[in-house]
């Protein structure tokens, strides 16, 4: 098993005691009839009661993976366990899963209360009992005052809450959410993602949330699973994914990073020295990956950990610096985004986020020759293979 997929997120304290909904995928694959391999031999461990985000570009297989966990798609190979039980071949109800869909899939002719109670009716629950259950959940999502309305009489955010109520009324141990915020405007999206996170903590069940939005995943998840062409590129906490992307793909996809490279010219127990193009030299912490003299190593430096200052061409280039020219300045309030055309053909475009006060204390201007620099321990070696 790839070690990057066995990351255990921290146990989540819930208001309801023991957390439920641990999911384990082992060698899970899906090959469609036309030969498309949507999910390719995936191993993944999701802790009970945690919030997991499956993140990746369109077509990387996240929805297919979610649908296989939900029981809406049959795997071509591998195993799925929920709370230690093999669930392949079982219905969503037997698995304890419920799905919340992208478009909410509400019945337009049914009231909020009847939409929420609908699945309980299908299950054969008596009317007074199912309405009582529906009202309890409607209260949980703060829609009691609107329980008699039709979906068409609700805002996007309210419809999203009805969809959530409809999923949780089934008392799932794993709630699967397929792009749950994509239909909302920016303001509501930020509000609702906070509400989803609070609801997950309150219910104490596992949420598996599919998104292609990096910041959404980082904001809500305990565990972020970055996918690439049906495989897991990295599975880790949001902090690790952001600060220590393991591959060039993850660094580029998560954003906020500059990716540079050089050839290994020196190795010590704790550090690696690289020779960049045009004579630049870079020093970075040595990690567990094999690094040999002469090997080309890619590494990332966070945009907010790069400093930019005026350059003196007469001075020799110190380690962990690059010369370049300021292409663009964009004021972002708390920082200035400084886009550079560097002299290094391996990293022609670098971006630095310079904290506002630091920038205006010693400003640079568009077109100016500058030097960007960073501390050796801000650089992280990347593996090129996904």
Residue 336 near residue 357, CB atoms below 8 Å: no
Between CA 246 and CA 378 the distance in angstroms is 14
Q: Which is nearer to ligand ATP, 32 or 331 (CB)?
A: 32
Q: What is the three-class DSSP state of 252?
A: helix
203 versus 254: smaller Cβ distance to ligand ATP: 254
Instruction: Return the number of the residue (212 or 380) whose C-beta is nearest ligand ATP.
Output: 212
From 44, 2, 57, 52, select the one nearest 249 (Cα to Cα). Answer: 57
C-beta of 32 vs 360, nearer to ligand ATP = 32
Name the minimum Å distance from CB 63 to ligand ATP: 3
Q: What's 185's DSSP letter? A: -
Report the nearest approach of ligand ATP to the CB of residue 32 (Å): 3
Q: Which is nearer to ligand ATP, 60 or 308 (CB)?
A: 60
* The residue to which tokens 């280039």 are assigned: 317
Least gap, CB of 74 to ligand ATP (angstroms): 11
Nearest residue to 9 via CA among 224, 203, 210: 224
Triad 181, 182, 188: Cα angle to 5°: 50
Contacting positions for ligand ATP (CB under 6 A) = 32, 34, 36, 38, 56, 58-64, 212
Closest-by-Cβ residue to ligand ATP is: 63
Cβ proximity to ligand ATP: between 227 and 307 the closer is 227
If you write DSSP's letter for every residue of 82-137 in order, what string do you get?
ETTEE-TT--HHHHTEEEE-TT----TTS-HHHHHHHHHHHTT--HHHHHHHHHHH
- Pair type for strands 97-100 and 174-178: parallel
Q: Provide, rounded to whole angstroms, the least separation between the CB of residue 219 and ligand ATP.
A: 18
CB closer to ligand ATP, 57 vs 349: 57
Q: How far is the CB of 216 from ligand ATP (least distance, A)?
A: 13
Q: How far is the CB of 36 from ligand ATP (least distance, A)?
A: 4
Q: How far is the CB of 134 from ligand ATP (least distance, A)?
A: 30
Q: Which residue has the tokens 């239909």?
A: 183
The two three-digit tokens of residue 364, written as one number: 């640079």
Closest CA to 278 of 262, 300, 302, 257: 262
């Amino acid at each position: 098993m790839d070690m990057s997929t066995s990351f255990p997120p921290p146990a989540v304290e819930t208001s309801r005691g023991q957390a439920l909904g641990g999911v384990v995928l082992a060698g899970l694959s899906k090959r469609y009839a036309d030969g498309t391999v949507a999910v390719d031999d995936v191993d993944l461990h999701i802790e009970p009661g945690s919030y997991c985000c499956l993140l990746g570009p369109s077509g990387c297989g996240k929805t297919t993976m979610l649908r296989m966990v939900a029981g809406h798609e049959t795997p071509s190979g591998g195993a799925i366990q929920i709370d230690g039980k093999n669930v392949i071949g079982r219905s969503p109800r037997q698995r304890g899963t419920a799905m919340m869909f992208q478009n909410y899939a509400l019945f337009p002719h049914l009231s909020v209360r009847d939409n929420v109670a609908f699945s309980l009716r299908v299950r054969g629950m008596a009317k007074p009992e199912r309405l009582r259950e529906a009202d309890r959940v409607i209260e949980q999502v703060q829609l009691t005052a609107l329980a008699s309305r039709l979906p068409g009489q609700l805002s996007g955010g309210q419809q999203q809450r009805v969809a959530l109520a409809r999923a949780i009324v089934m008392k799932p141990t794993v709630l699967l959410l397929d792009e749950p915020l994509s239909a909302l405007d920016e303001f509501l999206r930020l509000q609702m993602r906070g509400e989803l996170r609070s609801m997950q903590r309150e219910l104490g069940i596992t949420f598996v949330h599919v998104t292609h939005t990096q910041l959404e995943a980082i904001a809500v998840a305990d565990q972020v699973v970055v996918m690439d062409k049906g495989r897991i590129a990295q599975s880790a906490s949001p902090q690790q994914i952001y600060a220590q992307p393991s591959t060039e793909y993850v660094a580029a996809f998560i954003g906020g990073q500059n990716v540079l490279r050089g050839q290994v010219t020196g190795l010590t127990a704790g550090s690696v020295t690289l020779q960049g193009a045009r004579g630049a030299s870079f020093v970075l912490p040595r990690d567990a990956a094999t690094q040999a003299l002469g090997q080309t190593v890619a590494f990332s430096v966070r945009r907010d950990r790069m400093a930019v200052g005026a350059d003196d061409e007469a001075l020799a280039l110190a380690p962990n610096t690059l010369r370049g020219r300021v292409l663009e300045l964009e004021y972002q309030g708390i920082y200035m985004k400084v886009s550079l055309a560097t002299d290094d053909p391996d990293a022609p475009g670098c971006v630095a986020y310079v904290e506002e006060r630091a920038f205006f204390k010693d400003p640079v201007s568009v077109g100016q020759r500058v030097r960007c620099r960073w501390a050796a321990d801000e650089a992280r070696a990347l593996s090129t293979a996904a």
